[in-house]
């Protein structure tokens, strides 16, 4: 796909969305074709760093010992110690609510087996298994990058929904985010753009607007 032409088409589609008096999110819907999603190898599961951020606060949870928590200097929105992690098996309802509220998790490598055992059943289906980080690494830069990150996931259905910004962002910046997402998805498809049927832009309360690919 021609980058400049596609960016312009994205801008046109975003501008067609009606304005509301509250902050709407802007999502990209990519409909696939001729992709056998029954084979897990063909599914998309990508973390994409948006050049212009999400346009809203992204919450990041940290599961680690005290040393890594100190390095994070309070940058994480939620800190879960090893002791708290072990207690979560007795508080499943509260744990599910917490996982739903956090966008991304990172965890100290040494704790990953316990995370998988205790939280895998909750985090796995939601696509929120933590990114493992060695104890010697400062997690702050990783947290900062995750605040600008989105996940592009395809399951059994041939459609990928990805948030690319909010309506109070500049249209050009939202379009740049959308272009980056499309580039990454296209790169992961066996036949590239030939595996993309249609592209739509949709705001929270607005109708889906087709992106005309010229």
Residue 2: pLDDT over 90? no
Nearby residues of 20 by Cβ (< 8 Å), 6 or more positions away = 167, 203, 204, 205, 206
CATH code where residue 155 lies:
3.30.190.20
134 and 180 in a single domain? The answer is no
133 and 70 in a single domain? The answer is yes
Give the residue numbers spanning the domain of 91: 60-146
Q: What's the rounded Cα separation, in Å, for the pair 210 and 27?
A: 12
Region 125-136: mean pLDDT is 92
CATH code where residue 97 lies:
3.40.50.790
Q: pLDDT at position 164, please?
A: 96
| Structural domain ending residue among the three candidates 125, 146, 167 | 146
96 and 46 in a single domain? The answer is no
Arithmetic mean of pLDDT over the chain: 91
136 and 74 in a single domain? The answer is yes
Q: pLDDT at position 95, please?
A: 94
Residue 156: pLDDT over 90? no
Q: What is the tens place of the pLDDT at every residue in 27-80?
A: 999 999 999 988 888 889 899 999 999 998 899 999 999 889 998 888 999 999
CA dihedral 201, 127, 96, 162 (to 10 degrees): -10
| Residue 188 in tokens | 């992961």
202 and 136 in a single domain? The answer is no
- What's the total number of domains in the chain? 2
Q: What's the rounded Cα separation, in Å, for the pair 184 and 158?
A: 16
CA dihedral 119, 123, 124, 126 (to 10 degrees): 160
Q: pLDDT at position 214, please?
A: 66
66 and 128 in a single domain? The answer is yes
Region 126-147: mean pLDDT is 93
Residue 18: pLDDT over 90? no
Q: Among 135, 137, 152, which Cα is nearest to 64's?
A: 135
94 and 122 in a single domain? The answer is yes
Residue 3: pLDDT over 70? yes
Q: pLDDT at position 134, please?
A: 94
Residue 21: pLDDT over 70? no
Nearby residues of 84 by Cβ (< 8 Å), 6 or more positions away = none
Residue 1: pLDDT over 70? no
| Structural domain ending residue among the three candidates 128, 146, 164 | 146
Q: Among 207, 213, 205, which Cα is nearest to 179's?
A: 213
Region 94-114: mean pLDDT is 95
| Structural domain ending residue among the three candidates 131, 146, 161 | 146
Q: What is the tens place of the pLDDT at every residue in 169-188?
A: 999 999 999 999 999 999 99
With beta carbons less than 8 A apart as the criterion, state whether 48 and 161 touch. Answer: no
pTM: 0.83
Q: pLDDT at position 98, please?
A: 95
> What are the backbone angles phi and psi of residue 56, rounded to the nearest 5°?
-150, 165
């Amino acid at each position: 796909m021609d980058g400049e032409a596609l960016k312009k088409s994205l801008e046109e589609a975003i501008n067609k969305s009606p304005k509301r008096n509250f902050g709407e999110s802007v999502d990209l819907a990519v409909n696939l074709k001729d992709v056998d999603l029954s084979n897990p190898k063909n599914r998309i599961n990508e973390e994409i760093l948006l050049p212009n951020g999400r346009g809203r606060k992204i919450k990041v949870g940290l599961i680690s010992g005290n040393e890594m928590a100190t390095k994070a200097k309070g940058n994480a929105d939620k800190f879960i110690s090893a002791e708290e992690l072990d207690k979560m098996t007795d508080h499943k309802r509260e744990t599910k609510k917490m996982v739903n509220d956090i966008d991304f998790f990172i965890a100290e490598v040494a704790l990953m087996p316990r995370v998988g055992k205790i939280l895998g059943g909750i985090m796995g289906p939601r696509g929120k298994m933590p990114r493992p980080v060695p104890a010697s690494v400062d997690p702050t830069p990783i947290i900062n990058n995750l605040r600008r990150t989105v996940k592009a996931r395809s399951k059994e259905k041939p459609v990928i929904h990805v948030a690319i910004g909010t309506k109070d962002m500049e249209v050009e910046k939202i379009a740049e985010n959308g272009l980056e997402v499309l580039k990454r998805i296209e790169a992961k498809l066996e036949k590239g753009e030939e595996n993309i049927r249609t592209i739509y832009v949709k705001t929270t309360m607005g109708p889906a607007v087709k992106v005309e690919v010229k």
